[in-house]
């Protein structure tokens, strides 16, 4: 009786979120999946006929009349993935030492620092990216200072380059990497580090054999949280990359908004999702294996 | 022969939150011989853990030297010292198996795997954990984790093993069993142990010598019997075991006895050696030094606590003054409220100079 009542209460508590996710997450996903195998309508929308050329355009089969295979799509996908991977590596390299430093600060300063890390969330992403635009442009802050200091003789071509895109992505993603990393580093058992040193392990050995494995869940968590939105990001390349369709996110955006080819945009989205899910699955199982019972 | 470990004038200060300085170690001198079991005993904050961490290299001294086999340790980082530690929290590596935990010191020293595995098997057998090598620390009980920590710390054959309150997390039965096992292990290994505890019973059970510390200083160093029977001052007397302290004035001499009285008029007999009439001293008697007898100090039992083989009595002397604690044998007629007489052997009275 009691068990039954408990499951009724649990059901009632879970119903709103289930309903919400069902309507606003699962349903659109289903629509995208269906659209990706339909033919494009003349002025946007879809025709309800089966049409696999959307994928053919990307992976190498096409009828050559209505749709043409273009290797550029796969190239853009690969570039997006490598940009996302680079973003993960750079944010990790930036945040890992800082996480150790912050976890050793006195309580009061630690709170101040954590507040500073989350500060960017209080203002609009677009505004912050336009601030970067002002910094990076040929007559911007960076170039004028470097010129004034005599480090360079002519302005650096930074804006609308891949460098600017990666720089912007790293800037946007740093807090997402930092927070899980910090949680893992802060949880690190200092006694285990001392035990390792006490047993004769050098500092490098202690890092490799104790500190790294113990903070691996945080590293994996941060990597996944940074990688996924980075792959599909279209705002940063749009503002700092000069809207050259540099990344797959921009491509999807174009297909839906300017090219009005919804099925093709849907097919691209499905591919992004497949890649991201694969990455997620692999990293979770790897982390579980490395972390033992964790 | 020079001692294995030589500590001279060890000083370590910490800044207090109020902005002051606190001396955790205030001029500590200590020698530990090879194969000796030395216990650092004292209340929390007495500096015993700081001293241990200074030996292992996790604290740097502000003054003084620590020598091991005649070599100054100051310049050596923890991982270069031939000293291993059993940590209070055990500090086992949670992501490694028990076998890898135990073999860690050999692994980082580059011992090849076959040799390592043989030694791990041997070390696990030594602490009674044969066949547990494949488990993770999380799958072990507290007592088993304690043994893993011990096996891990002895596998590299350190000259000196440091133990930081390793038994404090165990329940009473297991703790007593581990006390005996530790002492046996120390004898068979031939490694010197420096053991930190605040538990006087633990110190008395295992140690060759006990170092009683208070506020960064050593109060007394001696064998357990020495410390218990001949405490150098009130602090040591009260910290080790239960004690009755009597501030008394020597009244008169009678043969090889000196008769002394408390302010309330309670009469005690002391050994006369070195005593002068009119002198004020403190007489120390352990609860077991009193016996219920036909004659002696008249008193009333205010509370009797039954402890199995013993009966623990709180006894109020008729003349007044503080209660006396007495250990009586089960079977003595000493119910609560009983009127009794307390006798004592003058030879067992320990006298501290000064009232």
Task: Judge whether A174 lies within some domain.
Answer: yes
Interface check for A197 against chain B (CB to CB < 8 A): the answer is yes
Min distance B57 CA to chain A CA atoms (Å): 8
| B304-353 residue pLDDT tens | 888 887 888 999 999 988 999 999 877 777 788 889 999 999 999 999 98
Task: Judge whether A100 lies within some domain.
Answer: yes
CATH of the domain at A188: 1.10.3720.10
Mean pLDDT of chain B: 92
Task: Write down the residue that tokens 């902005």 correspond to.
Answer: B19
* Residues A81/A275, Cβ–Cβ less than 8 Å: yes
Task: Judge whether A24 lies within some domain.
Answer: no
Interface check for B58 against chain A (CB to CB < 8 A): the answer is yes
Interface check for B52 against chain A (CB to CB < 8 A): the answer is no
Mean pLDDT of chain A: 89
- Cβ contacts from A onto B, under 8 A: 76
CB atoms within 10 A of CB A207: 15
Task: Judge whether A33 lies within some domain.
Answer: no
What predicted TM-score, i.e. pTM, was given to this entire model?
Answer: 0.83
Task: Judge whether A173 lies within some domain.
Answer: yes
Helix (H, G, I), strand (E, B) or coil at A62: coil
Q: At what angle do helices A248-257 and A212-232 cross, to 10 degrees?
A: 30
Query: Of the candidates A30, A85, A45, A70, which has an alpha carbon nearest to the alpha carbon of residue A273?
Result: A30
| A189-244 residue pLDDT tens | 999 999 999 999 999 999 999 999 999 989 999 999 999 999 988 889 888 887 66
Domain hosting A125: range is: 53-291
Task: Write down the residue that tokens 């004690």 correspond to.
Answer: B243
| Closest-approach residue (CA) in chain A for B102 | A199
| A15-71 residue pLDDT tens | 999 999 999 999 999 999 999 999 888 877 888 888 888 898 888 887 777 778 888
Contact B91 A200 (CB under 8 A): no
Beta strand segments in chain B, E: 5-15, 21-32, 37-41, 63-68, 71-72, 83-86, 160-164, 192-197, 209-214, 217-222, 244-254, 257-261, 267-271, 280-285, 290-293, 297-307, 310-317, 324-329, 339-344, 350-353
Complex-level ipTM: 0.86
Task: Judge whether A164 lies within some domain.
Answer: yes
Task: Judge whether A190 lies within some domain.
Answer: yes
The token pair that represents A74 in the structure block: 């796969």
Neighboring chain A residues of B138 at a CB cutoff of 8 Å: 293
The whole-angstrom separation of Cα B14 and Cα B23 is 6
Of B57, B79, B138, which has the smallest distance from its Cβ to A293's Cβ? B138
Q: Which of A198, A208, A289 to mutate to test the interface with B (most CBs of B within 10 A)?
A: A198
> Bridge partners of B290?
B344
**Residue A294 — very low, low, confident or very high, per pLDDT cuts 50/70/90?**
very low
Task: Judge whether A124 lies within some domain.
Answer: yes
Which CA distances in Å does B186 have to A12, A183, B111, B126? 62, 41, 24, 11
Which CA distances in Å does B14 have to A7, B18, B24, B25, B28? 56, 11, 7, 9, 16
pLDDT value of residue B355: 59
User: How many domains does chain A fold into?
Assistant: 1
């Amino acid at each position: 009786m009691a068990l039954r009542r408990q499951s009724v209460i649990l059901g009632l508590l879970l119903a709103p979120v289930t309903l919400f996710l069902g309507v606003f997450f699962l349903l659109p996903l289903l629509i995208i999946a269906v659209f990706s195998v339909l033919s494009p309508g003349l002025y946007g929308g879809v025709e309800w006929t089966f049409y696999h050329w959307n994928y053919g355009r990307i992976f190498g089969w096409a009828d050559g009349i209505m749709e043409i295979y273009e290797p550029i799509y796969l190239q853009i996908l690969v570039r997006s993935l490598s940009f996302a991977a680079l973003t993960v590596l750079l944010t990790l390299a930036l945040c890992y030492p800082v996480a150790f430093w912050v976890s050793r600060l006195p309580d009061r300063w630690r709170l101040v620092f954590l507040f500073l890390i989350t500060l960017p969330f209080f203002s609009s992403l677009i505004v912050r990216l336009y601030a970067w635009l002002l910094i990076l442009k040929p007559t911007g802050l960076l170039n004028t200072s470097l010129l004034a200091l005599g480090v360079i003789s002519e302005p650096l071509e930074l804006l609308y380059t891949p460098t600017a895109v990666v720089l912007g992505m790293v800037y946007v993603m740093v807090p997402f990497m930092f927070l899980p990393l910090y949680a893992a580093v802060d949880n690190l058992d200092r006694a285990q580090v001392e035990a390792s040193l006490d047993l004769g392990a050098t500092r490098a050995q202690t890092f490799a054999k104790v500190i790294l494995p113990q903070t691996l869940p945080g590293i994996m968590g941060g990597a996944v949280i940074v990688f996924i939105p980075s792959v599909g990001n279209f705002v940063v390349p749009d503002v700092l990359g000069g809207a050259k369709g540099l990344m797959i996110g921009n491509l999807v955006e174009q297909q839906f908004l300017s090219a009005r080819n919804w099925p093709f945009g849907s097919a691209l989205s499905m591919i992004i999702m497949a890649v991201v899910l694969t990455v997620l699955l692999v990293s979770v199982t790897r982390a579980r294996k490395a972390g033992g019972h964790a | 022969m020079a001692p294995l470990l030589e500590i001279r004038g060890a000083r370590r200060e910490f800044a207090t939150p109020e902005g002051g300085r606190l001396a955790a170690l205030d001029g500590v001198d200590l020698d530990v011989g090879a194969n000796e079991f030395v216990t650092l005993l004292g209340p929390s904050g007495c500096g015993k853990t700081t001293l241990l961490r200074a030996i292992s290299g996790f604290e740097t001294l502000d003054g003084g030297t620590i020598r091991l086999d005649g070599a100054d340790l100051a310049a050596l980082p923890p991982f270069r010292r031939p000293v291993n530690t059993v940590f209070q929290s055990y500090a086992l590596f949670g992501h490694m198996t028990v076998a890898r935990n135990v073999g860690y010191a050999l692994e980082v020293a580059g011992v090849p795997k076959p040799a390592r595995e043989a030694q791990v098997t041997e070390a696990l057998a030594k602490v009674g954990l044969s066949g547990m090598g494949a488990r993770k620390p999380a799958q072990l009980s507290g007592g088993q984790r304690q043994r893993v920590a011990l096996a891990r710390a002895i596998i590299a054959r350190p000259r000196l093993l440091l133990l930081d309150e390793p038994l404090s997390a165990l329940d009473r039965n297991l703790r007593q069993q581990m006390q005996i096992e530790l002492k046996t292990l120390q004898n068979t290994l031939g490694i010197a142990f420096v053991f930190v505890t605040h538990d006087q019973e633990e110190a008395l059970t295992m140690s060759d010598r006990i170092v009683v510390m208070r506020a960064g200083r050593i109060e007394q160093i001696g064998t357990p019997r020495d410390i218990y029977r001949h405490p150098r001052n009130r602090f040591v007397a009260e910290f080790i075991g239960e004690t009755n302290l009597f501030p008394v004035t020597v009244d008169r001499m009678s043969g090889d006895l000196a008769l002394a009285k408390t302010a309330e008029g309670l009469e005690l007999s002391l050994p006369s050696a070195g005593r002068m009439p009119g002198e004020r001293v403190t007489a120390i008697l352990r609860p077991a030094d009193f016996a219920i007898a036909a004659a002696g100090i008249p008193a009333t039992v205010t509370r009797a606590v039954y402890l199995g083989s013993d009966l623990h009595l709180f006894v109020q002397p008729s003349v007044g003054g503080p209660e006396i604690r007495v250990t009586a044998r089960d079977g003595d007629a000493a119910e609560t409220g009983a009127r009794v007489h307390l006798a004592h052997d003058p030879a067992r009275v320990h006298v501290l100079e000064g009232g």
